[in-house]
Amino acid sequence: MTDKVLSKKLKSLITVRVIFVTLLLGSFFILQVGYRNFPHPRATLNLIIALYTLTIVYSILLNRVKLYALFAYAQLFIDASAINILIYLTGGIESWFSFIMPLTVMSASAVLDRRAGYIIATFNSILYGIIIDLQYYKLLPIEYDMTLTEKAFLYNIFAHISAFYLVAFLSGYLSSRLEKTTHALEQTDSDLRELSLFNEELIENIPSGIFTTDTEGRILIFNRAAENITGVGRKIALSRSIDEIFPFIARGADIERLEGVISHQKAGDRIISLTISELRDIAEKNKGFIGIFQDITQFKEMETEIKQKEKWAAIGELSANIAHEIRNPIASLKGSVEMLRENIVTEEHKKRLMEIALKEMDRLNNIISDFLTYSSPRPAEFNTFDLNLMLDDTLELLAHTAPAQNEITIRKILKAPPDIYADNQKLRQVFWNLGMNAIQAMPDGGELSVSTRESDNFIEIIFRDTGVGISQENIGKVFYPFFTTKDEGTGLGLAIAYRIIEEHNGKINITSNNSGTTFKVVIPYVNGKA
């Protein structure tokens, strides 16, 4: 127990003593009730005066002593002695003040500890036993009822001593529990204060703006970062409505995350990213809102700059690919034309050169056409049509192409709902490109399996071939513009297919190994509409 706590308890003891002497002893002395003869009025008065005097002395010494425990013991022993003197003066065994003695035991346990309670209980037992014994044997001039037997005297002593120790035990136990509880509460209070200070410091020093509001949207907390980001002082912000600080918040709207512009007094317009969540108590009742926000103006500017650079980089890469794809047929055309101009080849060779020239011109036309389809796609025209019928027609056309006639089998398993809502021509182009890609992957023949099915409000169209497969190194590049692993082709077919499927809010996935490649097209399907 610290000296501060003990000093506080001693002050309480002094206060209680003054109240007791004033109300109980004073009134008893004035009224003189309970003890028929009241043989020692002057001695009783002197005792009261002495107790008042000692109280004054205690009060003076309290701020000067250093050994508070010893000072407490001195007061308790003096109090016990005074009470026993009072009992002697007011009739001994017949005294009305016997009930006061346990109070000194309780005081000892409360002010000091359980051990002090037992010490004062023992001291009271000794003094009281001496007084009653001396009274019985008439060694003290205290009159009593002569009908009282020795057994009554002994029982009185036993009852008082039992009461002293019982009070010592109970008061010590309760005092110990109270002290532990008080200590725990003080520790909890200290922890809560520290936690509160920590939270305040954390909120104040966090780089993000933070505010809290009541259920009506009035701001209650506004940290330092919030002041800096918004340019609004804390005193001005407190008790204001949240939409006064953030005008892009719609009053009454269900908000979680949004972006908007605020006007900063010094920095001008700032772009703010804001997240708002509900504050709930233990009963899950809404107590208000908490908002966390950042100034993302610089980030947005950097994002715009990066996108612009990425755009130019993509244009540069695309231009390089186009130039590469065009340069090869142009080189073939140039060589053929130069040989024809020299007129040094046979008629048969001229015919062959003309065929090469026409083929390369067709190749150039295909490159330009595919590029225009990829870079400037026409808007989708959605309509309802029979998916299985369209697939059947497309596969029939594929079967009559020159590459497909090279010992390639096309197998169809069409189980999806026939009518879907999509762009017929664009999906036809997707399936044509996937089919040609599969056929070109099987130069020595094989099987192309095409299946459809409905799964969890989606339509799946699966193209599976038994071709040479795609290496794991290249599998992530197949949808890049101008990427191809074949000797012929523009490398735009799969890129166009990927874009069209994205336009239909679908996905296209690829898996491949040395035994073939599988493309799975997934299109959302709800109530007969994809």
Distance between CA atoms of 154 and 133, rounded to whole angstroms? 9
pLDDT the model gives residue 521: 92
Give, as one character, the DSSP assignment of residue 22: I
Residues contacting residue 162 through CB under 8 Å, at least 6 positions apart: none
Q: How far apart are CA 426 and CA 422, in angstroms?
A: 9
Which one has a higher pLDDT value, 280 or 403? Answer: 280
Q: What is the pLDDT of residues 357-383, one digit of tens each?
A: 776 676 666 666 656 665 556 677 888
Which residues, including other chains, have CB under 8 Å from residue 158's CB and lie 6 or more apart? none
**How do the domains of the chain map onto residue ranges?**
3-186, 207-295, 301-375, 383-524
Mean pLDDT within 396-424: 80
Confidence bin at 250 (pLDDT 50/70/90): low
Between 27 and 182, residue with greater pLDDT: 182
Q: Could you tell me the pLDDT band of residue 438, with boundaries at 50, 70 and 90?
A: confident
- Examine the pLDDT at 95 and tell me if it is beyond 50: yes
Mean pLDDT in residue range 111-135: 87
122: helix, strand or coil: helix
The answer to whether residue 24 scores a pLDDT higher than 80 is no
The larger pLDDT score, comparing residue 356 to residue 471, is at: 471
**Mean pLDDT along residues 317-326:** 59
Which of left, alpha, beta for 455 (phi over 0: left; psi -120 to 50: alpha)?
beta
262, β-bridge pairs: 270
pLDDT at position 35, please? 46
Give tens-digit pLDDT for 495-528: 888 888 888 888 888 888 888 899 999 988 754 4
CA 216 → CA 222, 240, 286, 289, 462, distances in Å? 16, 10, 11, 9, 55
Query: Span 28-43, mean pLDDT?
Result: 59
pLDDT band at 251 (very low <50, low <70, confident <90, very high): low
Band (1; pLDDT cuts 50, 70, 90): low
Topology of domain 207-295 in CATH is Beta-Lactamase (3.30.450)
State yes or no: pLDDT of 463 exceeds 90: yes
pLDDT-wise least confident of 1-5, 126-130, 271-275: 1-5
The beta strands (E) that lie in 198-282 are given as: 209-213, 219-222, 257-264, 268-280
Position 313 pLDDT exceeds 90 = no
Residue-wise over 455-483: b if at least 16 C-beta within 10 A, else e? eeebbbbbbbbbbbbbeeeeeeebbbbbe
- Give CATH for domain 383-524: 3.30.565.10
**Segment 50-61 mean pLDDT:** 82
Class of the CATH domain delimited by 301-375: mainly alpha
Q: Which residues contact 427 (CB under 8 A, 6 or more apart)?
A: 387, 390, 500, 504
Q: Which of 530, 517, 499 is nearest to 430 (CA)?
A: 499
pLDDT for 307 beyond 80: no
| Mean pLDDT, residues 97-118 | 84
Q: Is the pLDDT of residue 301 over 90?
A: no
pLDDT of residue 528: 46
Instruction: Tell whether the model's pLDDT for residue 29 goes beyond 60.
Output: no
Least confident span in 69-78, 90-99, 366-375: 366-375
pLDDT of residue 264: 82
Least confident interval from 106-120, 311-325, 505-519: 311-325
Mean residue pLDDT of the chain comes to: 79
